[in-house]
Structure 1
Amino acid sequence: MKYKIKKTVLVFLTAVMLFGCSKPDDYKKYLDGGDILYSGKLDSVKINPGNNRVQLTGLLKADPKINRIKILWNDQKDSIEYSVNMNTDSRKFSQIFNVEEGVRSFLVYTFDAEGNRSIAVNAVGRVYGPRYAASLTNRVIGSATQANGETAIDWLTIDPSAGPFATEIRYNSTTGLKTVRVPIASERTVLNDLAGTASTISTRTLYLPTKSSIDTFYTEFVQVGVLKDVTAQYMLNTRIPFTASVKGDRWGIPTGWTTNDAVRNFRQAAGVFYGGVDAWFGGPQLAMEAGWSADNMVTITDGKIYQSPVLPAGLYTFEMDIPDCTAGGDFYTVAADGDGIPNTGNIASSLAYAKTNAPGTHKITFTLSTEKKVSLGFVGNVPNKGAGDGTFWRISQVRLKYLPKTN
């Protein structure tokens, strides 16, 4: 009995030593049916996604017997094979093949000439396609304005999670149709060669779903109108230093602008009143002001400063820069039909208006279906609060921008 126990222990230890010094699959050699031979498997397998296709890469082991590679997916219902010549081919394996969109699991085998295959290598990757492409959005332009030979495009931010990396702009340049690409991080793009007759540009956004993607996805081109700065064409005396037809030491009456009696509230001399242009505080600039005096610069009620150009059909933006004003005042920027602007109590009858009673750049927009006269300007109520106090606003520049009407 003691001898049998020793013999059993010896057999067990011998088996442990044999299997301990062997590869994990070597035990299969000792199964019934004789030896099982394996070709060298593909190492370092990676899946790089594309548009209804993938790139599979890996490293071939230095096994001269390998002569083909087989890749299976879709529960092994789909497959593709590639011939390999270990004498001439690179050990770096790389192939691109078509696969339907979705998350896919791949099995990769190598084979030798006798049909012996390697141990399976599993790799998982995502394939992109129409569903992903349909979810992509074009980067939005906040504004595109042409002035002084330059077209400034201001971009809105875009969600980076889907992989946008650039935007292409296609436009008619001074030398013909042109396409430029700008990084997605750009906040402003300036074109120096947009044709003077061009009223639109087209843009599309480029996406890489992952950094290793082998294909770029594109949104459809979207056409965007380019506003033309037509201030000089339709308006006069539009920025610092504003000129005055008559002026005193500080106040004057602006050239090219219509002002009503309410605006001209500064008594320059007996029976002589100025207002509308203020030469102080970095001026001369357009202004209305009342107060700081008990006997001069009386309250302004529905004071008006405006111009009345004849404008062609199209979309317009009227902008103004306010460097300083009494916060919360009753001041409006207005665009109105015809020759004149309404009182504040009837402001809703305007083509467009906005309460512009805070420092900064403000704008209103309006559309004309036909050519017509339009009055552009300002109306406000500016109270005199007595000696030592008052109300005011100032305008340092105005701009008129135009997008032609398209059929």
Structure 2
Amino acid sequence: MKHKYIVASWAILLCIAAFSSCRKGDEYKKFFGDGELIYASRVDKVIVHPGNRRILLSTILSDDPLVSKIKVSWNEGKDSLVQTITRERGKDTLNLMINNLNEGVYNFVIHTYDDKNRTSVALNVSGTVYGESYSSSLGNRRLKALKYGADDNILNFSWASPNLDDIGVELLYRHKDGAMRTKMFVSNKVDTTLTDFDASTNFRYRTLFKPDSNAVDTFSVAYVELAVPGFERELDKAKFKEYVLPTDATTNHGWLMPFMWDGNYDPGNGFATINQMPQWFTFDMGVSATPSKFKIWQAADRIYAQENMRKFEIWGSDMPAGDGSWGNWTKLASCESRKPSGLPGTEKNDTDIAFAKAGEDFILPQGLPKVRYIRIKVLETWGQSIFTTIGELSVYTRDKNN
């Protein structure tokens, strides 16, 4: 009898298992039907274009003609965008612009649907949306120098190195024909030029930024007003050369006069003279011109100290006497180097050092004659030394190069 009960128990269990199996099969049919599971074709690729409180998703569609709709979800499915797909010959890209987004990083889930509303497998992409926080971190690129070229039709801009994400500087100016024009100076060029501008009006410029090369929006900062300087150009220092007259102080210590215009402002480089005071030295500018300004850099290893010039005179001549006398010379200016801090003697601070390293301008009066030869007469140095040093020197004129 016991054996019969065991057989009966196994029979009951087999019936239960068979019934359960039938129920599971029914459940499969309930969700998937009697045929195989079919998905719609998903997009082949998505290119993300960050923007200003928006983002552009460029979706590359598959070649499945049955795909008729696309859906993008974000914020864990709380927000979505649905768009019907209209196919055009030769065009496989569908752009989806999502607006009014807060700044931050988003994850987007993309599904496509066919004409029977069957969905594709999900495709996930992420992208960054920019806004006020990013904009507030931007600043205009610094303009280091603005000066004329060989004539008053060429203006040279010298820019600082570009900031992060800087794609260029946009300049707004008035053309000589009276029309307002815009010129873009790209970020990889720090030395740029402008021609055919109306010098009687000011310029405005602003820096443009893209946080990503694929960004759909360009960010900018406020315009900066820029006054057009009066025409002035730097004389070509390649034409400068030493011109020694009998009464001149001569070179000493291996600091040769050509080092005064070689463009090298490293410490330990420049021009130095022999021991005598007062003293003077002469050089040939190579052309006859009316000087308007001298820019002089102190020797970088002894700023506001030792042999750097404090008080001096600038003289000019177009035909100096061969004996070194002063008969054919015209005094162009009396100059005194200044220290922004006003500290006594050779004392100095960081502001003084930065000022000297930028080169100090000595403006000459108007109405001076044309001269070719320059003689600098040194009266006093900052350290009361008996010889003098100069790091670098440039000469400017308002003469046009006609």
Same fold (TM over 0.5): yes
- Alignment match, 1:154: 158
Tell me how far apart the structure 1 counterparts of residues 227 and 360 of structure 2 sit (CA, whole Å): 17
> 1:122 Cα deviation (Å)?
1.7
Instruction: Say yes or no: does 1:218 pair with 2:214.
Output: no
Measured after TM superposition, the shift of residue 330 of structure 1 is 3.1
Q: TM-score with structure 2 length normalisation?
A: 0.57
Which position in structure 1 is the counterpart of 2:296? 320
What is aligned with 1:40? 41
Q: Which ranges in structure 1 are unaligned for 5 or more consecutive residues?
A: 9-26, 233-238, 253-264, 267-279, 292-296, 306-315, 368-375, 403-407
Q: In the comparison of the two structures, how many residue pairs are matched?
A: 304
Match of 2:170 in 1: 168
1:324–1:127: structure 2 CA closer, same or farther, 3 Å change rule? closer
1:4-47 deviation line (CA, Å, top 9, x unaligned): 9xxx9xxxxxxxxxxxxxxxxxx999354442653222232332
Report the alpha carbon displacement of residue 58 of structure 1 after superposing the two structures with TM.
2.8
2:308 and 2:388 in contact (8 A); partners too: no
CA distance in 2, matches of 1:213, 1:157: 22
Q: Which residue identity does 2:77 align to in structure 1?
A: Q
Question: In 2, distance between residues paired with 1:395 and 1:76?
Answer: 68
Which of the numbers 185, 188, 204 marks the counterpart of 2:188?
A: 185
CA distance in structure 2 between the aligned counterparts of 1:326 and 1:79, rounded to whole angstroms: 68
SS at match of 2:226: strand
**5 Å matches for 1:325-364?**
329-332=306-309, 348=342, 363-364=359-360
C-alpha separation in 1, matches of 2:300 and 2:120: 79
Q: 1:325 and 1:43 mapped to 2: Cα distance?
A: 64
Query: Could you tell me which residue of structure 2 aligns to residue 52 of structure 1?
Result: 53
Cα 1:70–1:250 change in 2 (3 A) is same
* Corresponding residue of 1:74: 75
- 1:225 deviates by 3.5
Higher strand share: 1
Superposition deviation, residue 395 in structure 1: 9.2
| Separation in structure 2 between the aligned mates of residue 343 and residue 33 of structure 1, nearest angstrom | 91
Asked if 1:250 corresponds to 2:230, the answer is: no
Give 1:226-265 correspondences, 5 Å limit.
226-228=228-230, 249-251=245-247
- Quickly say closer, same or farther: Cα 1:181–1:116, change in 2 above 3 A: same
Deviations 1:274-303 (A, max 9, x none): xxxxxx9679x9x99553xxxxx5x43xx7
Pairwise CA distance, 1:85 = 4.1
Alpha-carbon distance in 1 for matches of 2:310, 2:132: 48
Task: Give the Cα separation in 2 of the matches to 1:114 and 1:383.
Answer: 93
Cα gap change, 1:334/1:214 in structure 2, threshold over 3 Å: closer, same or farther? farther
Q: Provide the identity percentage.
A: 19
- Judging changes above 3 Å, is the alpha-carbon distance between structure 1 residues 384 and 158 closer, same or farther for their aligned structure 2 residues? closer
Matches of 1:81 and 1:344, distance apart in 2: 70
- Check if 1:202 corresponds to 2:222: no
Alpha-carbon spacing, 1:112–1:29, altered in 2? closer, same or farther (3 Å): farther
C-alpha change, 1:194 and 1:77, in structure 2 (3 Å) is same
TM-aligned CA distance change 1:184 to 1:249, over 3 Å: closer
| Contact 2:40 2:67 survives alignment (8 Å) | yes
CA RMSD of aligned residues (A): 5.2
TM-score normalised over the length of structure 1? 0.57
Q: Quote the offset at 1:89 in angstroms.
A: 8.6
Q: Note closer, same or farther for the CA distance 1:143–1:61 as it changes in structure 2 (3 Å cut).
A: closer
Q: Distance in 1 between matches of 2:308 and 2:47?
A: 65
Q: Which has the higher contact order (CA 8 A, sep 6+)?
A: 2
Contact 1:288-1:382 at 8 Å conserved across structures:
no
Change (3 A) 1:396 1:167: closer
Structure 2 alignment gaps of length 5 or more: 1-9, 15-24, 251-255, 262-270, 282-291, 313-332, 364-375
Deviation at 1:343, TM superposition (A): 10
- Structure 1 match to 2:317: none
Aligned residue type for 1:109: H
**Quick one: which amino acid aligns to residue 380 of structure 1?**
E
Q: How does 1:134-149 map to 2 (within 5 A)?
A: 134-146=136-148, 148-149=151-152
Deviations 1:22-77 (A, max 9, x none): xxxxx999354442653222232332222222222334344443221111112222
Q: Distance between the aligned counterparts of 2:72 and 2:300, measured in 1?
A: 71
Question: Structure 1 residue 380: deviation in Å?
Answer: 2.0
Paired residues of 1:290 and 1:382 also in contact (CA < 8 A): no
Quote how far apart the aligned CAs of 1:158 are: 2.6
Q: Which residue of 2 aligns with 1:127?
A: 129
CA contact under 8 A between 1:318 and 1:363: conserved in structure 2?
no
The code of the aligned residue for 1:30 comes to Y
